[in-house]
A and B are shown apart, each in its own frame.
Chain A
Amino acid sequence: MTKQFIRSVLVSLVALVFLGVGYPLLETAVAQFAFPYQANGSLTSYGSMEVGQQWGGTKFFHGRLDPYTPLATGGSNLGPTSKVLEQQTKKAIDMWHRLGVNPTEELVTNSGSGIDPDVSVQSALVQIPMISKARGVPAATLRNLVRRYTIGKEFGFLGESYVNVLQLNVALSKLK
């Protein structure tokens, strides 16, 4: 018994040093050398491309219904028969109708991360009349913009086609 106990402690110490410290440090070194941009959080002068932001008003594309607080990630966890979810969704639909937009599923729901940086292509397209009116930019120009920044399904079949909202809005702000 004592022998097994001592062995347990020894294995734990070896694991602590090599798996607990050595392995992540080695991976950090490799990551920082090979992919420094990604490894540090895909940071740009506008924020992280991987962390969504709150966009209000009519001049920018909106993202999901998320709180966008990266220090407290996660979904709303509201269940499929929840009255709270119904009321929250109704409020979101009303908000979109006031802005003259017929919303998609993504625009009236929370994501799983609470910081979803993307929306579906359709969710961007339905916002075009609102932005076109607010900015005085022809809808066709905006449709082209959405098309240019569409990230297609990976290898043609993985996930969905979507746009990164931050990337799209930065491009939008630079439109002449």
Chain B
Amino acid sequence: MDAVLQIAVLFVALAVTWRILGAYMADVYSGKSKWLDVLERPIYRLLGVEPKSGQSWKRYGASLLIFSLVSLLITYLILRVQNLLPLNPGHMKAVTPALAFNTAVSFVTNTNWQNYAGEQTMSYFSQMAALAVQQFLSAAVGIAVAIALIRGLSNRGSSTIGNFWVDLIRGVLYILLPISLVATVVFVGQGAVQTLSGAVTVHNALNNVTQTIPRGPVASMEAIKQLGTNGGGFFNANGASPFENPTPLTNLFSIYLLLAIPFSLTYTFGKMVGSIRQGLALLGVMVFFFVIWTGVTIVAEHGANPAVSAAGLHSQSVGNMVGKESRFGVSSSAMYNIASTQTSTGSVDSSMDSYTPIGGMMALSGMMLGEVTPGGIGSGMYTILLFAIVTVFIAGLMVGRTPEYLGKKIQAKEMKLASLGVLIMPMTVLILTGIAMVVPSATGAILNKGPHGFSEILYAFTSQGNNNGSAFAGLSSNNAFYNIVGAIAMWLGRFGVILPSLALAGTLASKGVVPASSGTFKTDSALYGSLLIGVILVVGALTFFPALALGPLAEEFSSGRLF
């Protein structure tokens, strides 16, 4: 009952800010909002950017790629020489080359897959200036691509889709930074740590326990980690650590931060294309999946843990508490992990690897749908638009008419680009999982035996291919294979979708608008929404069902067998 109330409160909060934040973002990216003009002007002058001048999709894409490569290099360099840099009270050594490369790719692609434990590996400077900076920038890149694609749909006969530098800077300055500034204070007030002093050693005379407790600038990273759907935490335990996520209130607040921008972008979309109902249709699809996936996971986790039952604890009235925190319990934990996997965030407040087979499968299958429920910051929006275009094409085939989306004719070129954007992720995930299963150093990293071991590898590549970063963390993936191949998965999963999306934005922007006729398929209707749900489900199920059958389903139906 509390779970239902919690979801209701969450949705009321999201509904209230959906319109406000969505309209604000539309104003920011159309240049109407100017309250931070003083800060923004000098940056444009420094860069030599004329904010009103647009870029073609090729120039936009090239700017984005070059910027991401430079970000990668800088992040890599900081990690490699962190031992020589200031703010290293824990005397952390330089990060090894393969791990630094993997981590840099991971944070630049908004994945935040972590092959390291923060408290044992990263200096404060690396956490602040290498990793958290990318949490801002990669998030702003994500929204920029979504906005560029929306402009492609709303511009008519135009050769430009906006200016990457302006979109990047406005995203950080107007949206991410102000919200993070406030959110950090909320986290600290509830008990999160925010200090530059090093670890502290404490002694308790009652039980004669001595502990060394690592600390750091945690809360400032926590805010952007969630808001930017990044997910990379300061500590290895991520959102389970009381220093990152101290109370049930910060738990719900985190969930809100994850969902706020991805959901609100549907309003931004509606406003920019001149019909809020178009945005509502996409929002409806996202919410449909999100509610079902959350509900099933909560129910599954309230069930008993098979291994704990086998050990003799027959009455598990609370549910599966393995890997879950006492203050959150089952429902709040399941909500957090589903919200974070469905937004490509990947932060966890409980061990994903220890979820029941069905609970773990919901997180996994949600990612397999392509991260559109609602998906990551910006990435959820541009990916669902690719699905939306595939859907009008399929609907067009049924009635034998050239399909249109928002007045733009969808022809061979658009369909090729949309299909490429939709299919690159499943191909990356399945091929790399297949390769991993025959490489000894990859299968040797498995912690849990039996079908669950296969799930660990499938989950790793699904997570990285979707730029999620969540993990079945039993997998010891800090080795050469996972550092290199994982980086390939993250890079393809990010730019393999971004480039077709921008190309699509370019070709759509150049088109004129076909006036709607009686034969036009309405894309703001419930019928269209159901079709879109069907397409997302069919694409996901057809590609991934066999893999799910070998992993979580085999585990669920192993009828009490332990491995």
With a cutoff of 8 Å between Cβ atoms, the chain A residues found around residue B43 in the complex are 11, 14
Which of these binds chain A: B14-22, B26-34, B63-71?
B63-71
Nearest chain B residue, comparing its CB with the CB of A39: B194
Flag if B326 contacts A71 (CB, 8 Å): no
What's the Cα separation between A123 and B349 when bound, in Å?
A: 21
A8's partner among B67, B130, B177 (CB-CB below 8 A) is: B67
Flag if A1 contacts B194 (CB, 8 Å): no
Flag if A110 contacts B323 (CB, 8 Å): yes
Flag if A113 contacts B194 (CB, 8 Å): no
Contact flag A41-B46 (CB < 8 Å), given A75-B473, A118-B327: no
Flag if A50 contacts B191 (CB, 8 Å): yes
Q: At the interface, yes or no: A109 with Cβ under 8 Å from chain B? A: yes
What's the Cα separation between A10 and B70 when bound, in Å?
A: 10
Contact with B along A64-89 (1 / 0, CB 8 A): 10001111111111111111011111
Flag if B137 contacts A80 (CB, 8 Å): no
With a cutoff of 8 Å between Cβ atoms, the chain B residues found around residue A103 in the complex are 313
Which of these binds chain B: A54-62, A125-133, A134-142?
A54-62
What's the Cα separation between A57 and B86 when bound, in Å?
A: 44
With a cutoff of 8 Å between Cβ atoms, the chain A residues found around residue B120 in the complex are 71-72
With a cutoff of 8 Å between Cβ atoms, the chain A residues found around residue B48 in the complex are 3, 7
Flag if A77 contacts B472 (CB, 8 Å): yes
With a cutoff of 8 Å between Cβ atoms, the chain B residues found around residue A159 in the complex are 247-248, 251, 327-329, 332
B207's partner among A60, A89, A109 (CB-CB below 8 A) is: A60
In A19-38, the 8 Å CB interface with B consists of: 19-21, 23-28, 30-32, 34-35, 38
Q: At the interface, yes or no: A108 with Cβ under 8 Å from chain B? A: yes
14 further contact pairs, Cβ within 8 A, besides A15-B133, A24-B217, A112-B323:
A20-B132, A46-B202, A47-B209, A50-B246, A72-B117, A72-B236, A75-B354, A78-B322, A85-B305, A110-B323, A111-B240, A112-B324, A119-B326, A162-B326
Nearest chain B residue, comparing its CB with the CB of A53: B209
Size of chain A's interface in residues, with CB distance under 8 A? 98
In A84-130, the 8 Å CB interface with B consists of: 85-90, 93, 103-106, 108-120, 123
Contact flag A154-B168 (CB < 8 Å), given A83-B563, A111-B323: no
Contact flag A41-B215 (CB < 8 Å), given A54-B207, A89-B307, A158-B332: yes
With a cutoff of 8 Å between Cβ atoms, the chain B residues found around residue A15 in the complex are 133, 136-137, 172
What's the Cα separation between A85 and B310 when bound, in Å?
A: 10
Flag if A81 contacts B562 (CB, 8 Å): yes
What's the Cα separation between A110 and B555 when bound, in Å?
A: 21
With a cutoff of 8 Å between Cβ atoms, the chain B residues found around residue A1 in the complex are 62, 66
Q: At the interface, yes or no: B448 with Cβ under 8 Å from chain A? A: yes
Nearest chain B residue, comparing its CB with the CB of A31: B194
What's the Cα separation between A60 and B305 when bound, in Å?
A: 28
Q: At the interface, yes or no: A144 with Cβ under 8 Å from chain B? A: no
- Most chain B C-beta atoms within 10 Å of own C-beta, residue among A35, A72, A76, A159: A159
Flag if B248 contacts A38 (CB, 8 Å): no
Size of chain B's interface in residues, with CB distance under 8 A? 126
What's the Cα separation between A82 and B177 when bound, in Å?
A: 44
Which of these binds chain A: B180-188, B285-293, B406-414?
B180-188
Q: How many A-B residue pairs have CB under 8 A?
A: 382
Residue pairs across A and B with Cβ atoms less than 8 A apart, 10 shown, are A8-B63, A8-B70, A68-B211, A70-B211, A76-B354, A78-B447, A81-B561, A82-B307, A106-B318, A112-B348
Q: At the interface, yes or no: B206 with Cβ under 8 Å from chain A? A: yes
Flag if B241 contacts A115 (CB, 8 Å): yes
What's the Cα separation between A60 and B209 when bound, in Å?
A: 13
Flag if B188 contacts A31 (CB, 8 Å): yes
> How many Å from the CB of B304 to the closest CB on chain A?
9
Q: At the interface, yes or no: A51 with Cβ under 8 Å from chain B? A: yes
> How many Å from the CB of B313 to the closest CB on chain A?
6
With a cutoff of 8 Å between Cβ atoms, the chain B residues found around residue A30 in the complex are 184-185, 188
Binding site for B on A (CB under 8 A): 1, 3-5, 7-12, 14-16, 19-21, 23-28, 30-32, 34-35, 38-43, 46-48, 50-51, 53-56, 60, 64, 68-83, 85-90, 93, 103-106, 108-120, 123, 151, 153-155, 157-160, 162, 166, 169-170, 173
With a cutoff of 8 Å between Cβ atoms, the chain B residues found around residue A83 in the complex are 307, 449, 562-563
What's the Cα separation between A41 and B216 when bound, in Å?
A: 9
With a cutoff of 8 Å between Cβ atoms, the chain B residues found around residue A39 in the complex are 188, 192-195, 219
Flag if B117 contacts A73 (CB, 8 Å): yes
Flag if A20 contacts B128 (CB, 8 Å): yes
A38's partner among B6, B190, B217 (CB-CB below 8 A) is: B190
B191's partner among A42, A78, A81 (CB-CB below 8 A) is: A42
Contact flag A46-B206 (CB < 8 Å), given A30-B185, A113-B325: yes
B211's partner among A14, A53, A78 (CB-CB below 8 A) is: A53
Flag if B202 contacts A48 (CB, 8 Å): yes
What's the Cα separation between A80 and B46 when bound, in Å?
A: 55
With a cutoff of 8 Å between Cβ atoms, the chain A residues found around residue B561 in the complex are 81
> How many Å from the CB of A17 to the closest CB on chain B?
9
Flag if A81 contacts B195 (CB, 8 Å): no
With a cutoff of 8 Å between Cβ atoms, the chain A residues found around residue B202 in the complex are 43, 46-48
With a cutoff of 8 Å between Cβ atoms, the chain B residues found around residue A118 in the complex are 325-327
Flag if A7 contacts B204 (CB, 8 Å): no
Flag if A28 contacts B220 (CB, 8 Å): yes
With a cutoff of 8 Å between Cβ atoms, the chain A residues found around residue B563 in the complex are 81-83
Q: At the interface, yes or no: B196 with Cβ under 8 Å from chain A? A: yes
What's the Cα separation between A7 and B66 when bound, in Å?
A: 9
Flag if A77 contacts B220 (CB, 8 Å): no
Nearest chain B residue, comparing its CB with the CB of A103: B313
Contact flag A12-B70 (CB < 8 Å), given A34-B188, A72-B120, A76-B322: yes
Q: At the interface, yes or no: B51 with Cβ under 8 Å from chain A? A: no
Nearest chain A residue, comparing its CB with the CB of B456: A79
